[in-house]
Each structure stands twice: as C-alpha cells, then as structure tokens.
Amino acid sequence: MKAASPLDYRVLARRRLPHFLFEYMDGGSYGEVTLRRNVSDLEAIALRQRVLTDVSRVDLSTELLGRRIDLPVALAPIGLAGLNARRGEVQAVRAAEDAGIPFCLSTVSACPIGEVAAAATRPFWFQLYMIRDRGFMRDLMAEARAAGCSVLVFTVDMPMPGSRYRDYRSGLAGAPGVSGSARRLMQAALRPRWAWDVGLRGRPHQLGNVARVLGRNSGLEDFLGWMRDNFDAGVTWRDLDFIREGWDGPLVLKGILDREDAVAAADLGADGIVVSNHGGRQLDGVLSTAQALPPIAEAVGDRLTVLADGGVRSGLDVVRLLALGAKGVLLGRVWAYALAAAGEAGVAHMLRLIEAEMRVAMALTGCTRVDHVNSDVLSKAPRD
C-alpha cells in the first residue's frame, strides 16, 4: 500500500510496529471518548467555500515564536517515538528541518538531546515535565540551552499519568519482569523488519534523557514506573518561577483546556500555550480541542501565541484549527505513524501531503495567507 493521505500512514504503521508500540502510539485513556471527540469534532466543522477570488499565489509561511517557518505546523513531542524507527527522533528532526518547520523533542524520547542536536542544523524545541527532582529538571534545561533549543514547551496536564488500558492489554504496562519482556519480544518477532531495523540496529534502547537516572533499570517497565513515581502531583502555578529561573527563552505551556487557566498563563508571562488534552491520553471525557480552542483564543489570543493539537489527521484539520483561533498547530500521531511506516522519508512525505491539502483548503476558502484564515472561513460555528 502506498500512502496517498496522511492517515494512510496509520495503516502502514500498524503493519510494521510491534503490537505494544502501535497501541501506545494509537491509544488514549480510559474509554477513549476524548480521543474520538478530537477527531470527530474537527471533522464536523464545515468550511465556507468561496469562488472567483485570485488564489494564484497561496503563501503558507508564517512567524511563530520568533521564527519564520514554511508551514504553520510543528512536530509535537511524543514519548517513545524514537522506537518507531531506528534512532527515530534524529530522522524526524531532519524531516522537519527540510520542511522548514519546528521539531519538539520529548523529555522521554529515545534519542537524547545531544544526539538530536548533532543531527540538527537549526534550533529545535524541547518539552519538559514537572519532575520531583528539581536538580534533574535544572540539568535538563541547561542541556537544552547548551544544545541551542529555542523554545521550552512545559507540559502542565500530567501531574500523574492517565490510565491507558490499551497499554495493559498489549503488555507494555502491568507485566513486569521476564513475563512482560517475553511478551514484547514475541510481538517484536512478528515484525521482522522492525526487529532488524530498530530492535537490533537501533540500539541503545533507552530513554536517552532519563537514562542516567534510571541506571541499569532501563527497561520499558522501569521507565513507566519511573514516570508514575517521579512526576510531581504537587505542581502549582508558583512552580513556573522555578522554570523561569532555569529558562530565559520563549516558554510555552502545553495542556491548557480552560479559559481561566489560559488567562492565568498570560498573566504569569508565558509566551505561548498549547490548547491540548494530551491527545486524549490524560483525563477522558474532557472537551475536544476544537471545542476548547475558540473561547481561549478569544480571551488571550492578543496576549500570547495560541497553539493547538489533538485530532489533526489532515491539512484540512490544520486549517480548521487556524480558523478557530490557533496561530500554529502541533502534529502528533500523524508524524509518529509516518515515522513508523517509512522513517524520515515517511515524515517528509506526510508533511508534503499536509501542505498540499492546506494549499487547496486555503485556496477554496479564498485565503492566500495564513493570517487570512479566521472564523470567516467557517460556514457555521462548531456545535451550533
């Protein structure tokens, strides 16, 4: 099968990845209600087609957090994404650079900051969680600064991990020791291309940025246990002072769903926010991004940079989120699927598909620039 649309890469990723890895990338928390809403609520937004306007030149470039980029998108931080292909985050950052967009590296990436920085020729973003060990956090921020990272994306919606039932069913979680490892090895053996490319040639299989605190306990079950034990459930708005002490560049808070929280972020001087429900992987049953975004953009859109993620499966979805008030869109699962299916080339192709779909959507709604995309391109408000 040849991918003709971004979502085709999901089918290809399922065929190539071991079951436990695909379920981790594809799944959400609890009953996955919010995961489904993210997609369906975006699909339900009707665009307003306009005709007989001069759309011979459509410019998709924009400025985001001090950088001119070729598309109003970025590759979102995804934990474990580097296991989808050999040294996967290195391949992804190269694809993002070629497309002229930012790449955001997760704290829990397979490849460490230094390895990704060595492959990059431009600054990338770094995502950080609130961890109980403040010294470890301080070291990570210093490492990101030294690597030239230009933006810190601080995730605020994960004081503790959500319950993701697919991970228990697949054997990624809840099966410690020999039994869990054997189950995952059996699944990997059923995917020989992945086993050769990633399992054997993609070593070391560590979470690069946290390997030094995991020590010898570097298996997947140890990593998941470390997350449960070390994420700080006591984090408050006051802790942003600690982040600001360690980071003097643009600061973006990821995981904002409530208007009051967005106003608080602006009041405390954040440079940006990501309207996000963690891809439906944290609190199930909350608002979709499409529902949460408009009132937040209205409240703080003139005070900071509003970004959004969640449910984006096409270039049309990017245009929809821009029309709802976002200045830029983070792509999550679509790049993880493409990476799993075809590595760097897959991510690059997926981004070209997103660009082509955006170009058509903008042209047929009468927009020739990204800053022309606003609520006027919607035929009706979502959920009238």
Q: What is the mean pLDDT of each run of 10 residues along the chain (384 residues)?
A: 96 97 97 98 97 96 97 97 96 98 96 97 96 91 97 94 91 73 91 95 87 65 69 91 95 98 97 98 97 98 98 98 98 98 98 98 98 94 50
Tell how far CA 342 is from the center of its chain: 18
Tell how far CA 303 is from the center of its chain: 23
pLDDT at site 230: 79
Q: Measured between alpha carbons, how far is 312 from 10 in angstroms, rounded to an integer? A: 13
- 278 assigned to active site: yes
* Annotated binding-site members for glyoxylate: 24, 129, 164, 278, 281
Q: Measured between alpha carbons, how far is 35 from 39 in angstroms, rounded to an integer? A: 7
| pLDDT digits 0-9 by tens, 218-237 | 556 656 666 777 788 889 99
Q: In this structure, which CATH number among 3.20.20.70, 3.40.640.10, 2.40.110.10, 3.30.420.40 belongs to the domain 8-377?
A: 3.20.20.70
pLDDT at site 345: 98
Helix 88-99 × helix 333-364 angle, to 10°: 20
Residue carrying the six token digits 């792509």: 331
Contact 13, 285 (CB under 8 A): no
Of 19, 278, 349, 372, the catalytic one is 278
DSSP for 266-280 reads: HHTT-SEEEE--GGG
Q: Measured between alpha carbons, how far is 56 from 301 in angstroms, rounded to an integer? A: 30
**pTM score, two decimals?**
0.95
pLDDT at site 384: 46
* Annotated binding-site members for FMN: 77-79, 106, 127, 155, 254, 276, 309-313, 332-333
